[in-house]
Amino acid sequence: MAHDPEEELSGARCAHEEGRLEDAERVYRRILAADPAHGEGRYLLGVLMLQKGRCEEAAGWLAGALACKPDNGYGHYYLGVALAGAGRGEEGVVHLRRAVGLLPDGFEAWRDLGHAYRDLGRLEEAVAGYRQALAIRAEEADLLLQLGNALMGLERAQEAAGIYRRTLGIRPAWVEAWHNLGVACMRLGEWQEARVAFQEALALCPDCGDACNHLGFVHMALGDCASAAACYRRALDGRPGDADLTCNLGVACMELGRLEEAVGHFRSAARIAPEHGEACGYLLHLLLHLCDWEEIPGWLGRLMALPGEKRRDLAPFVLLSLPVGAREQRDHARACAAGRFVAGAGDRVAWGEHARRERPRIGYLSGDLREHPVGRLLAGVLAARDPAGCEVLVYSHGPDDGHATRRRIRAACDRFVEISGLSDAEAARRIAADGVGILVDLQGFTRQTRPGILALRPAPVQVNWLGYPGTLGHPRLADYLIGDPVVTPLAHAGHFSETLALMPRCCLPGDGLRSPPVAPARGDVGLPEQGVVFCSFNTSHKFNAESFTIWCRLLREVPGSVLWLRDAHPRAVANLRREAGQRGIDPQRLRFAARAPTIEAHLDRLAVADLALDTFPYNSHVTGCDALWSGVPLLSRIGETFASRVGASLLMAVGLPELIVDNWEDYFALALALARDPDRLGEARARLVAAPLFDTPGFARDLERLYARMWCDHLAGRREPILLPKWEEGAG
């Protein structure tokens, strides 16, 4: 008895709907063997093949079905899905777009069109597709999560965070949504909100390693390094051998001062992942801190051989102490800024009428407004400014140490604003609402920096000054870098993303408003009464084998001399003594000074030294100012980078250009000549009295002139390098 094809097809459809796919497929194929042009049979077999994941075969059957019935919306939908699943996304998009125009509901078609665009990397179109689907079914939590993820891919973290919150309103116990909300809040600098989100994710899934790792990162941003280390250890329990987690634990230990433990973690991370630029870079940094120089050349070669994207997460500050050229430093800062701070910043905040005001409000932004070199220098400049000049607002995102330096800053500005509890977006909105016209960042890429605030452009003019001797790497972070003709000559403009704005003298302000030093007896500070005292009170990461070899040669050639250094990590002290012994110098000729109780006490004792020996390639900065203020001549080697030219700038400002050299042999020869000629040293000391470097009121006037030029150029819609002539009394 002959079979009725339509009756067979009806039975096969029932089997298909009941999930008996093998029975349904057998009948579909028998019908198509008898009638290859059977349109519905092609369609149904195509759908079944799609269900079985055989996308290429499904696409063939569905295309055949559409040849029979070109306006079948579901045919276009399933063919689009099949083509996308077969890796033919562009073809799939064509059919999915046909489907959304033909289907009366269209939710699935819009949803899967969004997925197809997402898989093609066309995220703007994916977002549009998801929004169309959600306009039909607004409470689809899965789709909301996908929309949030697509927005994150577009670096629209603010929108994404809102979508994740909406998702959690529908499905509050979803680990992935809490985690992704935390990541979005991290991108926005909303650290408190991020912490809550990751804690919620971990409460739901204690083994969620990504949430634990990210919570550690949030604790680091909030300054709680001990909690961060605990998070990283917990995450490593579930993912032993993870290079990123191991490196993160190393960073936390480094911030906690557990340097030798941190070295071990960085070594482990670099062994697990030989191209881990962050681990290699921080290992180099700590080897310098610990004066463990033997491995430096090998690790440096390994780091610099890595492609830029492998080094992106390494703080640019690390390169300043290494023999790395200015362009390499610029390129690294550019990659770091673009990848870590600018890409996820979101929309800029809106400026008010102040953007066109005749005189700008000046805002200073820093986490170091305390007993810190930056805090001390800023305090002097603010105290010396013209109170009738521009209004000055100071924004602090660092700790309050209760020190007189912080009180001095508070007293010298018009408004002091605490923003440590605000997210980057909240801080940026506050600065914009306060009408700041020129925002001066004093932090750069130093510890606890917050470039995310700068990336939101809270002020029409943004400036990089004082805290960081290098470029921020991206014009969205800063319009200008304040330098001077020595540290940042116009010929070096290509080394910086910012436009150069040059002070007429040194860009570091010497604080001439403090009391002159009163030198104690040498014996009172642990030094011999006779003999030359060489000193270098820089932190140990600025030392290296080359400079130390020169210093030891000086000790050998100058009998009875000593080298006076600031106290350091015990391992660094031991290594320096060992290195001295290997160079034929009695280790006891290295004298280490304990931390002085106050900066005034330090400046007093510093006055007993005979000659300050500068470091290279990272020169003395505030340390050099302190030596010169205490009457101690500074010998400096000049290089190509900003950080290697500060000593020369200080010496030009105090009228001692003859103490600048450009190579180690001249450095040694000049230091030896000075040590053997007390009269020459005495003459240099005499010239330090009332040096222009310490004319703080004059510096403040020059700085105000520089800001005025920046603002004038902003109002005129231009940006060009600024080189101020020297201000002379009575010149106006």
> Is pLDDT above 50 for 731?
no
CATH fourth-level superfamily of 522-694? Glycogen Phosphorylase B; (3.40.50.2000)
User: For the segment 377-414, what is each residue's pLDDT rounded down to a tens digit?
Assistant: 999 999 999 988 999 999 999 999 999 999 999 999 99
> Is pLDDT above 60 for 732?
no
Instruction: Say which residues have a Cβ less than 8 Å from residue 731's Cβ, sequence separation at least 6.
Output: none
> Is pLDDT above 90 for 164?
yes
The residue extents of the domains of the chain are 5-138, 219-342, 353-502, 522-694
| Architecture of the 219-342 domain | Alpha Horseshoe (1.25)
Q: According to the model, what pLDDT value does residue 487 have?
A: 98
- Report the distance separating Cα 272 and Cα 275, nearest Å: 9
Structure tokens, 384: 């010396």
How many other β-carbons are positioned within 10 Å of the β-carbon of residue 325? 15
The three-state secondary structure class of 359 is coil
Q: What is the mean pLDDT of the chain?
A: 94
| Burial status of residue 226 (CB atoms within 10 A of its CB: 0-12, 13-18, 19 or more) | exposed
Residue pair 722/438 in contact by the 8 Å Cβ criterion: no
How would DSSP label each residue in 506-518?
Answer: -SS---TTSPPP-
The three-state secondary structure class of 482 is strand
User: For the segment 49-64, what is each residue's pLDDT rounded down to a tens digit?
Assistant: 999 999 999 999 999 9
Confidence of residue 69 (pLDDT cuts 50, 70, 90): very high
| The 533-536 sheet, strands edge to edge | 590-593, 562-566, 533-536, 611-613, 634-637, 660-661
Residue whose C-alpha is closest to residue 81's, from 121, 44, 54: 54
Residue pair 248/216 in contact by the 8 Å Cβ criterion: yes
Q: Average pLDDT of 671-685?
A: 96
Percent of the chain with pLDDT over 70: 98
Q: Give phi and psi for 628, each to the nearest 5.
A: -65, -40
User: For the segment 618-644, what is each residue's pLDDT rounded down to a tens digit?
Assistant: 999 999 999 999 999 999 999 999 999
5-138 classified as CATH 3.30.200.20:
no
User: For the segment 132-155, what is each residue's pLDDT rounded down to a tens digit?
Assistant: 999 999 999 999 999 999 999 998
- Report the distance separating Cα 608 and Cα 63, nearest Å: 91
Q: Do the two domains 5-138 and 219-342 of this chain adopt the same fold?
A: yes
Residue pair 289/575 in contact by the 8 Å Cβ criterion: no
CATH for 353-502 is 3.40.50.11380
Task: Find the radius of gyration of the CA atoms of the chain.
Answer: 33
What is the b/e burial string over 7-37, where b = at least 16 CB atoms within 10 angstroms of the residue's CB? Answer: ebbeebeebbeeeeeeebbebbeebbeeeee
Cis? peptide before 617, omega within 30° of 0: yes
Q: According to the model, what pLDDT value does residue 344 have?
A: 67
Confidence of residue 8 (pLDDT cuts 50, 70, 90): confident
Q: How is residue 591 annotated by DSSP?
A: E
Residue pair 478/468 in contact by the 8 Å Cβ criterion: no
Which pTM does this prediction carry?
A: 0.88
